[in-house]
Amino acid sequence: MSDFTSGFWPIYISVITLVSIIGTWVFLKSQTTRKLAPGEKAELMEHTWDGDLQDLNNPLPRWWLGLFNGTLVFAVVYLVLWPGLGNYAGVLGWTSKGEYEAEVKAAEAKFQPIYAKFLGQNIVAVSSDPEALAIGKNLFLTYCSQCHGSDAAGARGFPNLTDKDWLYGGEPDTIVATITDGRAGVMPAMGEALGPDGTKEVANYVLSLSGRPHDAALAAAGQTKFAENCAACHMPDGTGMHALGAPNLTDSVWLYGGSEGAIIETITKGRNGAMPGMSQTMGTTSNKEAKLHLLAAYVYGLGGGTPPAAPAAEAPVADDAAPADAGATEAPAKP
């Protein structure tokens, strides 16, 4: 009880409370001085109402007095044990904050072993454990659904997490990194550099990459502009780059829309999708590491996860793809 705005209020409250209790007791006492001697009859007071309704001066019934005094004793005992009198904390030292913290602590202690168990397993294993997925789903609904949707299917600007199309990659470690530290997609605004005509040409070239209806002449004119302005991030063949989160432009999955208008808007104004770092968002949440682990496993298990690369010793030589292809692999090679 330390949150009063000034020292006056605790005193004000204490005085009113104590004066009420003592005042009630004194009043009651003053009204119960008269006892009936054996055989004595209550006197008729002055008043008679409604013809025959009379006012006698009987003493208060003893059971009623006892009950009333009981409430007064209860009030005093309560005020000694618990906070209630201004700043006085009470003998028991109870606080609502303390009670809440004790409950959280008990819950933590209860769930800690479960979290520890899953933290000790790798993400692929956790992603097929029904109990882990149930916890992961709850965590997802708490921390992620407002952006990615409760079914994780995303929306415009918020990626679908249930498919095999990844901006940054679907390997367990990559998903953990994405969730833990967040991501910032940087697609620079190029409208000024390319001009309206140039933008339209590149947009038509982008449309051609995924076989969408486009103007062939414009697309042909856009091809060199794409190689000059876009290939550094989206790769020369347009298949994107996980390291930068540059989307694959050759497939049918669009983050911001695959119409000519949407693509022109993307190129002209740029895009800056931001995935918040959950490590920060969660602050000092207990079992944070395990929760991130379970969230990653949940996302991995949504169906689009890329199995981790086989350990180097067992990797076939052919796996040694050029690093430039990093973003190109859509369908993961099963180890």
Interface residues with ligand HEC (CB under 6 A) are 143-144, 146-148, 157-159, 161, 166-168, 175, 178-179, 183, 185-188, 190, 202, 206, 229-230, 232-234, 244-247, 249, 254-257, 263, 266-267, 271-276, 278, 295, 299
In whole angstroms, the minimum distance from the beta carbon of 310 to ligand HEC comes to 22
Kindly list the distances between the CA atom of residue 199 and the CA atoms of 58, 105, 213, in Å, as whole numbers in the listed order.
Answer: 101, 58, 17
| Nearest to ligand HEC of 147, 326 (CB atom) | 147
Whats the size of the chain, residue-wise? 335
In whole angstroms, the minimum distance from the beta carbon of 67 to ligand HEC comes to 57
- The Cα 259–Cα 156 span in angstroms is 13
The conformational region for residue 287 under phi > 0 = left, psi -120 to 50 = alpha, else beta, is: left
Please give the structure tokens belonging to residue 153.
Answer: 């299917």
In whole angstroms, the minimum distance from the beta carbon of 6 to ligand HEC comes to 41
| Nearest to ligand HEC of 83, 198 (CB atom) | 198
In whole angstroms, the minimum distance from the beta carbon of 303 to ligand HEC comes to 13
Kindly list the distances between the CA atom of residue 283 and the CA atoms of 9, 108, 154, 180, 288, in Å, as whole numbers in the listed order.
Answer: 35, 16, 25, 11, 8
| Nearest to ligand HEC of 132, 144 (CB atom) | 144
Phi, psi values for residue 197, rounded to 5° = -65, -50
- The Cα 285–Cα 291 span in angstroms is 9
As a whole number of Å, the end-to-end CA separation of the chain is 62
Instruction: Judge contact between 242 and 170, C-beta under 8 A.
Output: no
| Nearest to ligand HEC of 85, 295 (CB atom) | 295
In whole angstroms, the minimum distance from the beta carbon of 232 to ligand HEC comes to 5
CA atoms within 13 A on the CB side of 138: 6
| Residues facing residue 48 across a β-bridge | 54
| Nearest to ligand HEC of 85, 290 (CB atom) | 290
| Nearest to ligand HEC of 86, 118 (CB atom) | 118
In whole angstroms, the minimum distance from the beta carbon of 134 to ligand HEC comes to 16
In whole angstroms, the minimum distance from the beta carbon of 246 to ligand HEC comes to 4
In whole angstroms, the minimum distance from the beta carbon of 298 to ligand HEC comes to 7
Instruction: Judge contact between 328 and 240, C-beta under 8 A.
Output: yes
| Nearest to ligand HEC of 90, 273 (CB atom) | 273
| Nearest to ligand HEC of 85, 249 (CB atom) | 249
Instruction: Judge contact between 307 and 221, C-beta under 8 A.
Output: no
Instruction: Judge contact between 45 and 57, C-beta under 8 A.
Output: yes
DSSP code at position 305? P
In whole angstroms, the minimum distance from the beta carbon of 252 to ligand HEC comes to 10
| Nearest to ligand HEC of 126, 179 (CB atom) | 179
- The Cα 264–Cα 196 span in angstroms is 9
Instruction: Judge contact between 152 and 162, C-beta under 8 A.
Output: yes
